[in-house]
């Protein structure tokens, strides 16, 4: 298993290219199942979650061809309605996103229940309710979800999400595209990745209005067709590099990043002592003054994203003052806390709230990566820790960060990947 060895103390400077968004590409790969004609995606990130999703698509007979320039062609012309087995779904919860396209196109689906994961229970009830609102019958048996439509397929309906789940909104959108008549989706997620899925589906011939708002309207069509779609850049990767610049007192141009996709993150980082401004090519981040403690609570977009909570906590460990960090999206997303403590961070946890008292300096240590965002927060902290930090089990990082070590080395970081 690979590990990262990081020597702290170098500024992160220069420029870095942001890859396509992991959380945009995964639902769009699933969306290819909606059509018998090919879907061509470009700006596809080279991360292992994409490989896992493609393995899943192959189970359904989808032909996935990677081309140069980060292009991916998905041909579901010969797809068949196989089962999504536990072994696949447990590897990646986003596999649940195949449920809606399978039901919409083939009239039935059998997908393993994902079960718990490292960041909490993560139920899928809202996905299932969305399908039921469009007339699907949903049942459970032996750990599998069975969903089937009436003989004449899904019909448009009103889907009211009790909370703005990203995945359930994507399920609702994909199902509604091929449902008869109009579907209204209320209180859906407004994240840029949901809007990007809507754009991809629109390119395939779907009729969608209001993506990015609390009310999405979809007029069902009989079939979707061949399309090309260029993915948005990864705002969480961009936010992670912004924090890398901020924590090291660096100056970094984050190429391909969009400040507006970062929601409240820009203002929070400015309050913490960084300066951010959009450039022709992306986003500039500088921190020259002291780091200040700032309180945050994670929220659905455009609030502070749960996917940047761990990274922000790493920043706060070396800020002056105490910061209160509340996690409201996932109940137990604090696996980074004991690992940050090994570097000398002063963090106390109470339920879903962490109190971070900034310390003068962190010290290198041996650490264990646990999930994607927890792992990258350890990398960020290691960039400023005195001495050497070794992070084990970094396959978690490779799930969602393309070439993290190479990109950081290009910006001045002292990082080595060691195999075995
Ligand atoms: N929830 C339910 N029932 C459901 C669905 C969700 O109770 O049917 C709850 C979840 O348990 C959680 C909250 O609603 O407490 C939000 O979950 P959401 O459905 O929005 O999350 P997701 O679609 O499973 C996506 C991202 C996550 C990101 C969250 C929140 C993808 C592939 N994953 O997950 O990304 O944290 O939205 O923004 O888009 C990551 O990239 O590290 C990651 C975990």
Q: Over the stretch 67-101, which tens digit does the pLDDT of each residue have? A: 987 999 999 999 988 788 888 888 888 999 999 99
Residues 127 and 40 in one domain: yes
Task: Using the predicted structure, report yes or no on whether residue 110 has a pLDDT greater than 80.
Answer: yes
Residue minimizing CA distance to atom 10 of ligand 1: 122
Q: How many domains does the chain have?
A: 2
**pLDDT, position 393:** 92
Which tokens in the block code for residue 87? 């072994």
Task: Return the CA Rg of the chain.
Answer: 21
Residues 85 and 209 in one domain: yes
Residue minimizing CA distance to atom 43 of ligand 1: 307
In eight-state DSSP terms, residue 34 is G
Residues 296 and 190 in one domain: no
CATH number for the domain spanning 140: value is 3.65.10.10
**pLDDT, position 256:** 98
CA dist 153 → 101, 175, 269, 275, 283 (Å): 12, 10, 48, 52, 46
Residues 319 and 175 in one domain: no
Name every protein residue with a CB atom under 6 angstroms from any ligand 1 atom. 23, 26, 93-94, 120, 122-127, 163, 165-168, 189, 193, 305-307, 329-330, 372-373, 400
Using DSSP's 3-state secondary structure scheme, residue 289 falls into: coil
Average pLDDT over residues 366-384: 96
Residues 198 and 257 in one domain: no
pTM (2 decimals)?
0.97
Please identify, among 211, 230, 249, the residue that sits at the C-terminal boundary of a domain: 230
Centre of ligand 1 to C-alpha 224, Å, is: 27
Angle between helices 99-106 and 125-133 (to 10 degrees): 20
Residues 326 and 391 in one domain: yes
CA dist 227 → 35, 132, 204, 210, 301 (Å): 10, 28, 5, 21, 28
Active-site residue, 177 included: no
Please, are residues 385 and 10 in contact by the beta-carbon 8 Å criterion? Answer: no
Please identify, among 197, 214, 230, the residue that sits at the C-terminal boundary of a domain: 230
Centre of ligand 1 to C-alpha 105, Å, is: 24
Q: How far, in Å, CA of 157 to CA of 13, rounded? A: 51
Per residue in 258-296, pLDDT tens?
Answer: 999 999 999 999 999 999 999 999 999 999 999 999 999
Average pLDDT over residues 38-54: 96
Angle between helices 372-384 and 309-316 (to 10 degrees): 20
CA nearest neighbour of 234 among 417, 49, 37: 49
Centre of ligand 1 to C-alpha 315, Å, is: 24
Task: Using the predicted structure, report yes or no on whether residue 125 has a pLDDT greater than 60.
Answer: yes
The sign one gets for the Cα dihedral 372, 250, 14, 298 is positive
Residues 167 and 246 in one domain: no
Average pLDDT over residues 379-406: 96
Q: How far, in Å, CA of 239 to CA of 42, rounded? A: 22
Please, are residues 30 and 174 in contact by the beta-carbon 8 Å criterion? Answer: yes
**pLDDT, position 251:** 98
Using DSSP's 3-state secondary structure scheme, residue 153 falls into: strand
pLDDT band at 420 (very low <50, low <70, confident <90, very high): confident
Residues 318 and 394 in one domain: yes
**pLDDT, position 147:** 95
pLDDT band at 332 (very low <50, low <70, confident <90, very high): confident
* Burial group, residue 155, by CB count within 10 angstroms (0-12, 13-18, 19+): middle
Residues 70 and 210 in one domain: yes
Per residue in 205-241, pLDDT tens?
Answer: 999 999 999 999 999 999 999 999 999 999 999 999 9
Residue minimizing CA distance to atom 14 of ligand 1: 165
| Probe target for ligand 1 pocket from 115, 309, 329, with the most ligand atoms within 8 Å of CB | 329
Pairing of strands 388-392, 366-368: parallel
Residue minimizing CA distance to atom 18 of ligand 1: 165
Please, are residues 115 and 90 in contact by the beta-carbon 8 Å criterion? Answer: yes
Which tokens in the block code for residue 375? 């792992």
Average pLDDT over residues 365-377: 94
Q: Which atom of ligand 1 is nearest to the CA of 372?
A: 42
Residues 84 and 178 in one domain: yes
Please identify, among 230, 246, 280, the residue that sits at the C-terminal boundary of a domain: 230
Q: Which atom of ligand 1 is nearest to the CA of 96?
A: 24
Residues 127 and 273 in one domain: no
Residues 267 and 321 in one domain: yes
Domain residue limits at 63: 22-230
CA nearest neighbour of 375 among 310, 304, 315: 310
């Amino acid at each position: 298993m690979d590990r990262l060895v990081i020597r702290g103390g170098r500024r992160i400077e220069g420029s870095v290219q942001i890859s396509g968004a992991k959380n945009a590409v995964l639902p769009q790969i699933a969306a290819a199942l909606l059509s018998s004609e090919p879907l061509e995606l470009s700006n596809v990130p080279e991360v292992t979650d994409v490989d896992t999703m493609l393995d899943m698509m192959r189970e359904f007979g989808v032909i996935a061809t990677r081309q140069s320039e980060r292009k991916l062609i998905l041909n579901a012309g010969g797809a068949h309605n196989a089962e999504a087995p536990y072994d696949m779904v447990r590897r990646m919860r986003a596999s649940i996103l195949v449920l809606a396209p399978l039901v919409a196109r083939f009239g039935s689906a059998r997908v393993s229940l994902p079960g718990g994961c490292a960041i909490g229970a993560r139920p899928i009830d809202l996905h299932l309710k969305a399908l039921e609102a469009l007339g699907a019958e949903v049942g459970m048996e032996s750990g599998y979800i069975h969903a089937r439509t009436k003989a004449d397929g899904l019909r448009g309906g009103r889907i009211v999400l009790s909370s703005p789940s990203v995945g359930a909104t994507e399920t609702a959108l994909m199902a509604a595209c091929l449902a008869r008549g109009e579907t209204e989706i209320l209180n859906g997620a407004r994240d840029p990745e949901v809007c990007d899925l809507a754009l991809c589906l629109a390119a395939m011939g779907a009729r969608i209005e209001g993506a990015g708002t609390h009310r999405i309207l979809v007029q069902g069509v009989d079939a979707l067709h061949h399309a090309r779609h260029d993915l948005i850049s990864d705002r969480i990767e961009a936010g992670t590099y912004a924090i890398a610049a901020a924590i090291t007192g660096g100056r970094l141009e984050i190429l391909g990043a969009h400040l507006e996709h970062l929601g409240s993150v820009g203002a929070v980082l400015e309050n913490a002592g960084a300066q951010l401004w959009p450039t022709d090519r992306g986003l500039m981040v500088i921190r020259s003054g002291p780091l200040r403690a700032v309180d945050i609570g994670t929220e659905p977009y455009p609030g502070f994203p749960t996917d940047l909570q761990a990274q922000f906590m790493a920043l706060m460990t070396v800020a002056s003052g105490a910061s209160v960090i509340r996690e409201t999206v996932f109940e137990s997303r604090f696996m980074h806390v004991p690992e940050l403590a090994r570097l000398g961070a002063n963090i106390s946890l109470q339920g879903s709230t962490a109190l971070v008292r900034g310390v003068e300096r962190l010290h290198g240590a041996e650490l264990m990566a646990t999930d994607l965002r927890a792992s990258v927060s350890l990398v960020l902290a290691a960039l400023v820790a005195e001495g050497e930090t070794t992070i084990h089990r970094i396959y978690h990082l490779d799930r969602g960060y393309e070439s993290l070590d190479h990109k950081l080395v290009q910006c001045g970081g002292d990082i080595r990947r060691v195999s075995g």
